[in-house]
A and B are shown apart, each in its own frame.
Chain A
Amino acid sequence: MSATLVEVERLVKHYPGGGGLFGPRRPPVKAVDGVSFHVAPGETLGLVGESGSGKSTIGRAVLRLEPPTAGTVRFEGHDLATLDAAALRALRRRMQIVFQDPFGSLNPRRTIGDSIAEGLVIHRLAASSALSGRVAELLAEVGLDPSYAGRYPHEFSGGQRQRIGIARALAVEPRFIVCDEPVSALDVSVQAQVLNLLLDLRERRGLAYLFIAHDLAVVRQVAHRVAVMYLGTIVEIGPARTVISTPRHPYTQALVSAVPSPDPSTSRARIVLEGDPPSPSAPPPGCPFAPRCFHPARDARCTSERPVLRVVADREVACHYAES
């Protein structure tokens, strides 16, 4: 078995800019602009960024729910772009996704038992006589009463629906799950329950996660490594513990300092960034973060030459002045 389960290389996803019929054609939106990373078996990589940073697009491109504009995604060594439909379907069984809003992905007219069984039927993983028993096991595994199988999605709370979404993903026995903002729609008390469930499942089943979230504190809770995204690129990637405790990229520093702390006694210095992220259809030349950057060494190089990810101590950082 290779040491890498998922390997993403120079992934690019551009969306057409629209316009053109009556007005001028707008430039394409560079949602993801050359991103590389890998995920090892059993490992959790957190993908953090604000809205428009491209993190959800990456999740979808990794599962090939959308074909990327350029770059490669390998799963268990297979380049997804070269596989025919049958081979891709077989591989998909081992890679699943859990969405932020499970209600949007559950058919309201089907019982949750049927929704969970769907993958088992499609991939012929259980004989029809064994289906209900498997569904009951899966419900129990995610902490739901097996008798709920005959109920419909609207009968459940947000936290329960997320458990159903997780049960459905687990049904086909994946090795890798993309978790796209899985707890951000939940109340804090329920959020903690679902996070703990994801940790339990990881331990029990040796799952690997690509954990996409805007909340750095949530990512800290589950991720072994973390990648910080800004405007379609990774600006810092490394061990979750040290990247968050001693961020090197100015954007990561601002992101860490902006996370509200429920403990007023830890008086962290607050960095309040000026302005908003620039539009992904017109990224600035040079470093994408330069227009908002507060780094004392910031100079003309930052606005002309795009920094690439390079090794700095125990991580990689895309900043010309990451050492100072």
Chain B
Amino acid sequence: MTPLLEVRDLRITFPRDGASPLVPVDDVSLVVHRGEMVALVGESGCGKSLSGLAIPRLLPDTARLGRDTSIAMHGEELAHLEEKAMRQWRGRRIAMVFQDPMASLNPVMRVGAQIGEAITAHQRVDSAEVRRRAIALLDEVGIADPAERVDAYPHQLSGGMRQRVMIAMALAGEPELLIADEPTTALDVTVQAQILELLDRLRQERGLGVLLITHDLGIVAGRADRVMVMYAGRIVEAAATAPLFASPQHPYTRGLFASIPRIDSDGERLVPIAGTVPPPDKWPAGCRFHPRCPMAIARCHTDRPPLDPIAEGHDVACWVAHEVLS
């Protein structure tokens, strides 16, 4: 079956005057099926957000996609599609939700009118029908009293409700793929749980494919079907959620787990990863994690480890992990 989304060899470069180009994302491949939630996880600067923006081709003008990069929806190639043709996809079959809804909503426009814009951008419908659909969408995303809230301004809504409005707008074009970039990071934990439940419900009810981009491994557990962990522009580990959490193989993934404070801990010390994530112009040769890795061997300094299967459906880019098991 052709996947809903298939990204192969995603490479994003930023040309620089008098220096070699920056390559903040390199060789990223991922697949999202209908009704599936795939999580792209990593710390700031790892390239996860740029990867998400590349799919609906929302990268800054100065960014270039690699020559071998392929971004296919239902097998149809989008990576080098011209802008006009791209509009048939963006906002319509591919929708995005961002971290900060206040930055994306127009503060002087009623939310119903903003959802209406998203509806009429893709379909010709009369104003009574637009309003009816806007109310139905607000209802679908779990906003109480949708017939009244449709006339509210963004500042009259709470952070959680604004994020629901953003999701309603994203749904207006009847998308098949929803890219959610840190959709709950700005929200309080109890509201965060509500929004994650909503995304999960939409995935089931609408068969929506969801690419969840997050720094938080915690929100991924029990919700995503598969997880891909990024470090310094590359995917270092990819697996179904259960095996990834049960037996993480990459030293970086393990380091992340050891760094997360647990609510059910007995107060034992966390084991942090030494050092910090280097900026893209200082990424080392070989495995990019090797300067921080407690297990690095000579080869890690020079040769780049490929993302190879270590078990059925579990890929790891680590020389040491493969050596131990082979």
> A192 contacts which chain B residues (CB < 8 A)?
258-261, 270-273
- A276 CA / B160 CA spacing, docked (Å): 8
A50 in contact with B272 (CB, 8 Å): no
User: Known: A192-B272, A221-B265, A272-B197. Contact between A255 and B189, CB under 8 A?
Assistant: yes
B194 within 8 A of A: yes
User: Could you say which of B189, B197, B219, B241 has the most chain A C-beta atoms within 10 Å of its C-beta?
Assistant: B189
Residues facing A in B263-306 (CB within 8 A) are 263-267, 269-273, 276-277
> B158 contacts which chain A residues (CB < 8 A)?
276
- A220 CA / B260 CA spacing, docked (Å): 12
A304 within 8 A of B: no
Interface size on A, residues (CB 8 A): 45
B148 within 8 A of A: no
User: Could you say which of B161, B266, B271, B276 has the most chain A C-beta atoms within 10 Å of its C-beta?
Assistant: B276
- A160 CA / B219 CA spacing, docked (Å): 27
B269 in contact with A189 (CB, 8 Å): no
Taking a contact as CB atoms closer than 8 A, the residue among A196, A217, A255, A266 that contacts B190 in the complex is A255
Taking a contact as CB atoms closer than 8 A, the residue among A188, A191, A258, A267 that contacts B192 in the complex is A258
- A26 CA / B231 CA spacing, docked (Å): 49
Interface of A is mostly: helix
Render B146-189 as a binary contact track against A, CB cut-off 8 A, 1 for contact: 00000000000011110000000000000000000000000011
> B265 contacts which chain A residues (CB < 8 A)?
217, 220-221
> A220 contacts which chain B residues (CB < 8 A)?
261-263, 265, 267
B217 within 8 A of A: yes
Render A196-227 as a binary contact track against B, CB cut-off 8 A, 1 for contact: 10010000000000000011111011000000
> A270 contacts which chain B residues (CB < 8 A)?
193
A128 within 8 A of B: no
Instruction: Name which residue of chain A comes closest to B252, CB basis.
Output: A189
Classify chain B: how many residues form its interface, as a range: 35 or more
Taking a contact as CB atoms closer than 8 A, the residue among B193, B241, B257, B273 that contacts A264 in the complex is B241
What is the CB-to-nearest-CB distance from A194 to chain B, in angstroms, rounded to a whole number? 9
B222 within 8 A of A: yes
- A259 CA / B158 CA spacing, docked (Å): 20
- A256 CA / B261 CA spacing, docked (Å): 13
A295 within 8 A of B: no
Instruction: Name which residue of chain A comes closest to B198, CB basis.
Output: A272
A272 in contact with B193 (CB, 8 Å): yes
B263 in contact with A259 (CB, 8 Å): yes
A263 in contact with B267 (CB, 8 Å): no
- A67 CA / B205 CA spacing, docked (Å): 52
Taking a contact as CB atoms closer than 8 A, the residue among B193, B221, B263, B272 that contacts A216 in the complex is B263
B191 within 8 A of A: yes
A263 in contact with B197 (CB, 8 Å): no
A69 within 8 A of B: no
A188 in contact with B259 (CB, 8 Å): yes
> A191 contacts which chain B residues (CB < 8 A)?
259, 261
B2 within 8 A of A: no
Instruction: Name which residue of chain A comes closest to B242, CB basis.
Output: A264
A91 within 8 A of B: no
- A169 CA / B190 CA spacing, docked (Å): 33
> A218 contacts which chain B residues (CB < 8 A)?
261
- A176 CA / B261 CA spacing, docked (Å): 24
> B159 contacts which chain A residues (CB < 8 A)?
51
B246 within 8 A of A: yes
B89 within 8 A of A: no
A221 in contact with B43 (CB, 8 Å): no
> B257 contacts which chain A residues (CB < 8 A)?
262
B193 in contact with A258 (CB, 8 Å): yes
B263 in contact with A244 (CB, 8 Å): yes
> B191 contacts which chain A residues (CB < 8 A)?
50, 276
What is the CB-to-nearest-CB distance from A170 to chain B, in angstroms, rounded to a whole number? 20
B215 within 8 A of A: yes
- A157 CA / B43 CA spacing, docked (Å): 13
A4 within 8 A of B: no
A190 within 8 A of B: yes
> A107 contacts which chain B residues (CB < 8 A)?
none
A221 in contact with B270 (CB, 8 Å): yes
What is the CB-to-nearest-CB distance from A284 to chain B, in angstroms, rounded to a whole number? 16
A82 within 8 A of B: no
What is the CB-to-nearest-CB distance from A70 to chain B, in angstroms, rounded to a whole number? 27
> B269 contacts which chain A residues (CB < 8 A)?
196, 199
A261 within 8 A of B: yes
Instruction: Name which residue of chain A comes closest to B277, CB basis.
Output: A187
A195 within 8 A of B: yes
User: Known: A188-B43, A196-B270. Contact between A217 and B188, CB under 8 A?
Assistant: no
- A190 CA / B292 CA spacing, docked (Å): 12
- A259 CA / B265 CA spacing, docked (Å): 13
Show 30 A/B contacts (Cβ-Cβ < 8 Å), sorted by A: A50-B189, A159-B276, A188-B217, A188-B259, A189-B256, A192-B258, A192-B271, A196-B270, A196-B272, A214-B189, A215-B189, A216-B189, A216-B263, A217-B265, A220-B261, A221-B261, A221-B267, A240-B267, A241-B267, A257-B193, A259-B218, A260-B221, A261-B262, A261-B264, A262-B221, A263-B262, A266-B264, A272-B193, A273-B193, A276-B191
Residues of B within 8 A of A (CB): 43-44, 144, 158-161, 188-194, 197, 215-219, 221-222, 241-242, 245-246, 255-267, 269-273, 276-277
